[in-house]
Structure 1
């Protein structure tokens, strides 16, 4: 799920229960149910909900105009309590919504609970469905079954200070090796700045280094993964971003460092644009895809984002499929970008946005080059909860463990979490 979805203050919402339909819950989202009545929808709340709500209300108006005697009951649920809400809905068909928004990293947990309907038939009957990339569909697929339609995606790319690069006569790095030499050059010539802001707790910044070198998270102690980890942790050093400053930095803190002018480069998301423009770096930066190992290649980015799904306990599955495909369609993906900055998952929508907003192009190019995802296994939640990857990175960065020692320990923990 995209990281910026942390909610500052959760709204106290109550679930409005509706009487269950006489039809049984459907196995797939196109199987029957009443074609009229109240469609129940759960969407994530936002720190600033108004722009999102305006787009959703527009979609509701269009939907109800084409579906007589139908209403749409939207509940905006707090992100930090979503797991409990979903578990309750999985266990109580009468209280289950029909359409839901959920983070793509939530998929394994919800799939293992058996709470989501198969959307394969819905996608096959949806004219715009063919516009979804294979990577996007893979992030919503569990054990061969499509359990969601990707609604938006968020990826990271390399932000860099154009004024600093111009002053020092530097070119944007074309490889990860050049990224390191460029960062150390900047630090040497401008000791008040970090060459690139990197953090020991910034796993989404480190993952592309592992993937670019051919490593995988499930084989984190392989030679390829170790090379990628080394290339990242080598940046947490006195000649770039000293361990005493950067070993415990989170992704959010790296955004702050770049935005405030204290770092010449940063691996930031398309969703961090507003934060950067609110700081000293405004008007002094550009973005390019994070380069890979070889010139012309792009380091695979983690594809965070949210999906729209249909509950297996939905009382109006066919009606839910109609609303889902409307809200997930090109028209409303484009409107959600204008309102919230959410990158579309439909290629036609992203192409149009990139044509009118040049800032988006590096992120679209990053997606087009191929993205990666965390293992779709319910046990991955244990890996996250135990901070396995950030602990591994911090130990290497602070010299508490060698790359080999830290990755062997992490590999054991990952194996245990994914196999139990």
Structure 2
């Protein structure tokens, strides 16, 4: 397998040098006699040795059926993804297989970047064993454009030694969260919990755990639900962790989870919410590595038990300009079947898209991954609409509302305005 120089900009993207046409054999799979010489895969992120080895294994498995096909891989840094895909759609170098964030499938499908692979997915046995909610998240306007590749969730990180000192277990409810946080602050003289306001994923878990929703689709139209009683109660509770309960300091107002991450690594906060990927950053930022040995993880506490988490991850898609859709989907199957999906999840430090695998000893033997594996059994997804990123990443509607409430805004007025804005954006025409 050839790994070209990692591109810093889309101008350096790899050209797919595929040749020949596509076709299917009598069994419905692509006919090896028509296989192209090359298929190109775009993977988001930076090249790392475990990922390179994974793709080498993928190529070897693919070549068991299509021995004349080389798999070329290009790692695209996440900040360059949008420009790279836009350039590919405009006629530039393009992949056959494209990884996209699972919350981006609807966006790129609406823009015509992805092929409808619904027929192929329906006849693929492994798809029936995937997380069906995650598989559904790969649809747009009734068509299947992506399949889940891997996922990760956020959990509650806490200082295990401090909880032992105050005689507490990891909190499982909102009430316990407040009580444990106050006990930590009294005993250790540091904030017990971090509730950053610029944290949609964390706030959403509080909303979902209380039976609320951010938005729902009714009759083909999206309706914001930020003013529904269950949703509003959860938002006010989250804001109140700073203003009323005062277990989260003003330091985190207007910030995302990166600030408490550094504090957690250096013994300056008792608990906070983040993903498994945060551990590497903690190792880099910890002034005293011994602190890291006392950091443990547990599922996120909800109103009355474990809160649902957004199952962030990636989907595998077939790019719209591929000249070999049948062969591209065969490659997608190798990357995303039970062997390939598990292989990539392990190489990248996430979880596979197959719920049956979560009980595996490999995930249960490590307390941190065991907590995340348990959290993976309670997941939710954001509205599957191309306009979600405009509402969240661009408009910051939900975290912006929390910020206003923390700063003294009237919750009824703030959420009414935010709900109107959310509804308007989600229903904007797709260009």
TM-score (norm 2): 0.86
Cα RMSD between the aligned structures? Answer: 2.6
Q: Counterpart of 1:16?
A: 15
Matched, 1:273 2:279: yes
Q: Supply the distance in 1 between the matched residues of 2:56 and 2:425 (Cα, whole angstroms).
A: 42
Q: Counterpart of 2:212?
A: 215
Answer whether contact 1:188 1:239 (CA < 8 A) is retained.
Answer: no
| Alignment of structure 1 residues 28-47 onto 2, 5 Å | 34-46=34-46
Give the 3-state SS of the residue equivalent to 2:115 in structure 1. Answer: coil
Q: Counterpart of 1:398?
A: 407
Q: Counterpart of 1:251?
A: 257
Q: Counterpart of 1:242?
A: 249
Query: Bigger shift: 402-411 or 181-190?
Result: 181-190
* Structure 2 residue ranges without an equivalent (≥5): 1-5, 216-224
Q: Counterpart of 1:322?
A: 330
Q: Counterpart of 1:231?
A: 237
* Structure 1 residue ranges without an equivalent (≥5): 1-6
Pairwise CA distance, 1:201 = 0.9
Give the 3-state SS of the residue equivalent to 1:215 in structure 2. Answer: coil
Q: Supply the distance in 2 between the matched residues of 1:10 and 1:342 (Cα, whole angstroms).
A: 27
Q: Counterpart of 1:148?
A: 146
Pairwise CA distance, 1:153 = 0.6
Q: Supply the distance in 2 between the matched residues of 1:321 and 1:357 (Cα, whole angstroms).
A: 35
Q: Counterpart of 1:125?
A: 123
Give the 3-state SS of the residue equivalent to 1:197 in structure 2. Answer: coil
1:386 to 375, 389, 395: 395
Pairwise CA distance, 1:403 = 1.7
Pairwise CA distance, 1:319 = 1.2
2:167 to 152, 166, 169: 169
Matched, 1:357 2:354: no
> Could you say if the C-alpha distance between residues 10 and 162 of structure 1 is closer, same or farther in structure 2, counting changes exceeding 3 Å?
farther
Q: Supply the distance in 2 between the matched residues of 1:148 and 1:32 (Cα, whole angstroms).
A: 23
Pairwise CA distance, 1:81 = 2.1
Matched, 1:367 2:376: yes
Q: Deviations over 1:121-179 (max 9, x none)?
A: 33233332222112211221223322111111111111111100111112221211211
| Alignment of structure 1 residues 325-336 onto 2, 5 Å | 325-336=333-344
Pairwise CA distance, 1:118 = 2.2
Matched, 1:80 2:90: no
Q: Counterpart of 1:3?
A: none
TM-score (norm 1): 0.88
Q: Supply the distance in 2 between the matched residues of 1:10 and 1:52 (Cα, whole angstroms).
A: 20
Pairwise CA distance, 1:332 = 2.9
Matched, 1:69 2:68: yes
Matched, 1:186 2:184: yes
Q: Supply the distance in 1 between the matched residues of 2:65 and 2:206 (Cα, whole angstroms).
A: 48
Q: Supply the distance in 2 between the matched residues of 1:416 and 1:208 (Cα, whole angstroms).
A: 23
Give the 3-state SS of the residue equivalent to 1:351 in structure 2. Answer: coil
Pairwise CA distance, 1:11 = 8.5
Answer whether contact 1:150 1:307 (CA < 8 A) is retained.
Answer: yes
2:298 to 288, 294, 304: 288
Matched, 1:206 2:203: yes
> Could you say if the C-alpha distance between residues 8 and 367 of structure 1 is closer, same or farther in structure 2, counting changes exceeding 3 Å?
farther
Q: Supply the distance in 2 between the matched residues of 1:330 and 1:273 (Cα, whole angstroms).
A: 26
> Could you say if the C-alpha distance between residues 223 and 151 of structure 1 is closer, same or farther in structure 2, counting changes exceeding 3 Å?
same
Pairwise CA distance, 1:329 = 2.2
Give the 3-state SS of the residue equivalent to 1:96 in structure 2. Answer: coil
| Pairs aligned (count) | 402
Give the 3-state SS of the residue equivalent to 1:73 in structure 2. Answer: strand
Matched, 1:60 2:68: no
